[in-house]
């Protein structure tokens, strides 16, 4: 279930300003998995998003499943979509089936109406030209003309899932830009932001010094004792992490 203390709107706005690669660095420093969703590529350039995860899990097709699953508006994908507003990202576990469709223009029209924050999947999306016009970021492993129900079905909403090899829990932070999508555990968002901001500052100091010295980046990068000494000399700040 979603975290009892959801990530605040203010924190989401901060996350939108941090590149995904810097969030990856923050997670790495903490010893957490890097949580980059493999296969989730931007449907078009210039996409940027940060929101709380609403999760949806697909399972393989089987006739008895079709008979048992809820129908119409009670079907899992429609239940999940109704939970999405401007600060929610629908994350779909499609088992990495990159040619199988998780939906297209009609299903995701509702996400446009709700002004949903975005859509992420390790599967494929149909009707890509129409989806591009809907106004919310879409990250998918592929686009496809195939129909999904012949291969798999939406089954479970807001439980822990995998997407592109990454654990996603409801309420986690989901951040996307041109480089892809990163997931940050809700309980670790503040710490990752702190580390990310520090690393951004350190990297700016490094780049400025490399312009001066015209030397190998290896002198200061990856971060080492010389890096932190330079950082303290240039900023007067002490390392915090």
Secondary structure class of 20 (helix, strand, coil): helix
Per-residue model confidence (pLDDT) at position 28 = 95
Q: Are strands 49-60 and 88-93 parallel, antiparallel or unpaired?
A: parallel
pLDDT value, residue 2: 58
Closest by CA to 125, choosing from 224, 230, 43, is 43
What is the pLDDT, as a whole number, of residue 1? 59
Give CA–CA dist 99/141, Å, rounded.
Answer: 8
- Nearest-CA neighbor of 119 among 210, 162, 55, 72? 55
Give the burial class of 11: count Cβ atoms within 10 A of its Cβ; 0-12 exposed, 13-18 middle, 19 or more buried: middle
How far apart are the C-alpha atoms of 72 and 187, rounded to whole Å? 35
* pLDDT of 196: 94
> Residue 225: what are its φ and ψ, rounded to 5°?
-60, -40
Cβ pair 145, 126 in contact under 8 A: yes
Q: What is the pLDDT of residue 45?
A: 97
Opening angle at CA 157, ends 109 and 152, nearest 5: 75
Query: Nearest Cα to 57, choosing from 80, 29, 26?
Result: 80
pLDDT profile of the chain (241 residues), mean per 10: 82 97 96 97 97 98 92 97 98 97 97 98 98 98 95 97 98 98 98 95 96 97 95 90 65
d(CA 75, CA 208) in angstroms, rounded, equals 55
Q: How far apart are CA 198 and CA 231, in angstroms?
A: 10
Structural domains of the chain ordered from first start: 9-186 (3.50.30.40), 191-235 (no CATH)
CB–CB of 196/188 below 8 Å?
no
Q: Whole-structure pTM over 0.85, yes or no?
A: yes
User: % helix / strand / coil in the chain, to the nearest 5?
Assistant: 40, 25, 40
pLDDT computed for residue 5 by the predictor: 86
* pLDDT at residue 241 in the model: 65
């Amino acid at each position: 279930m979603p975290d009892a203390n959801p990530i605040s709107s203010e924190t989401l706005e901060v996350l939108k300003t941090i590149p995904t690669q810097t969030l990856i660095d923050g997670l790495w420093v903490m010893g957490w998995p890097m949580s980059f969703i493999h296969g989730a590529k931007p449907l078009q350039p210039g996409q940027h998003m940060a929101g709380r995860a609403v999760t949806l899990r697909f399972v393989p097709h089987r006739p008895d499943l079709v008979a048992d699953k809820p129908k119409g508006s009670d079907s899992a994908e429609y239940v999940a979509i109704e939970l999405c507003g401007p600060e929610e990202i629908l994350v779909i576990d499609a088992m990495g089936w990159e040619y199988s469709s998780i939906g297209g223009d009609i299903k995701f029209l509702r996400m446009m109406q709700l002004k949903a924050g975005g859509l992420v999947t390790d599967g494929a999306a149909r009707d890509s030209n129409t989806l591009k016009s809907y106004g919310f970021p879409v990250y998918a492993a592929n686009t496809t003309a195939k129909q999904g129900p012949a291969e798999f079905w939406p089954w479970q909403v807001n439980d822990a899932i995998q997407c592109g090899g990454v654990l996603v829990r409801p309420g986690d932070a989901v951040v996307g830009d041109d480089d892809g999508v990163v997931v940050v555990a809700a309980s670790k968002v503040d710490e990752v932001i702190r580390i990310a901001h520090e690393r951004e500052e350190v990297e700016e100091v490094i780049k400025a010094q490399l312009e001066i010295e015209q030397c190998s980046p290896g002198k200061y990068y990856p971060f080492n004792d010389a890096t932190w000494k330079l950082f303290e000399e240039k900023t007067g700040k002490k390392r915090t992490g």
